[in-house]
Structures are given as C-alpha cells and as structure tokens.
Amino acid sequence: MSMVDFIVIGVVAGLLALAIYKIVRDKKRGVKCSGCGGCSGCPDKNLQ
C-alpha cells in the first residue's frame, strides 16, 4: 500500500463518514424521509 492508497482510502472514508453522518443525523432529528426528491410536494414538512 502506497501513500497515495492511504490518501484515497482516507478520502473515501471521509465521504462515507459524511454521508452516514447525514443519514444518522436526519434519523435522529426524526426525518423519516430518505430524500425522495418530492419535498416540494410532500405534505408532511416534519419529515424533511
């Protein structure tokens, strides 16, 4: 494993951590919606 490999792994891990953090934070905030793209039509604003 070279230095570049570790950097790439770090970048990937960072991206995944950010994505998972967002998913978990939304879940904790009671956001049940997974981000379907229909927010403007969503009648339940509490879900967003």
Partner 1 sequence: MKIALAGNPNSGKTTLFNAITGKIEHVGNWSGVTVEKKEGDVKQSLNPRNEDLVVVDLPGAYSMSPYTSEESITRDFVQNENPDVIINIVDSTNLSRSLFFTTQLLELGIPVIIALNKSDLIDKKGNTIDVPALSDALKCPVILTSATKSSDNGMPKLIDAVITLGKSNKKQIPPNISGVKKASTKEDFEKADKKRYAFVNNVVTEVERRKVSSEKQTLQDQVDRIIAHKWLGIPIFAAIIWLVFSISQSWVGPLLADTFVGWIDMLYEGIASLLGEDVNPVVAALLLDGIIGGVGAVVGFLPLIMVLFFCLALLEDSGYMARVAIVLDRFFKKVGLSGRSIIPMIIGTGCGIPGVMATRTIKNERQRRTTAMLTPFMPCGAKLPIIALFAGVFFGDNSWVGTSMYFLGIAVIIISALIIRKITGDYSKSYFIMELPEYRLPSLKRAAISVLMRAKAFIIKAGTIILVCNAVVQILQSFNWQLQVVAENAPETSILASIASPLAVLFIPLGFGLWQFAAAAVTGFIAKENVVGTLAVCFSITNFIDVEELALVGGSTEVSTIFGISAVAGLAYLVFNLFTPPCFAAIGAMNSEMESRKWLLGAVGFQLGMGYTLAFFVYQIGTLITTGTVGSGFIGGLIAVALIAACVGYLMRKGSKGNEISAGMRSVKV
* Contact set with partner 1 (CB under 8 A): 1-2, 4-5, 8-9, 11-12, 15-16, 19-20, 22-23, 32-47
DSSP letter for each residue of 30-48: T------S-GGG-S-GGG-
Question: Toward partner 1, which CB reaches closer, 28 or 38?
Answer: 38
Identity of the residue, 28 or 37, whose beta carbon is nearer to partner 1 in the bound complex: 37
Nearer Cβ to partner 1 (29/39): 39
> Which two three-digit tokens encode residue 17?
């951590």
Q: How far is CA 43 from the centre of its chain?
A: 23
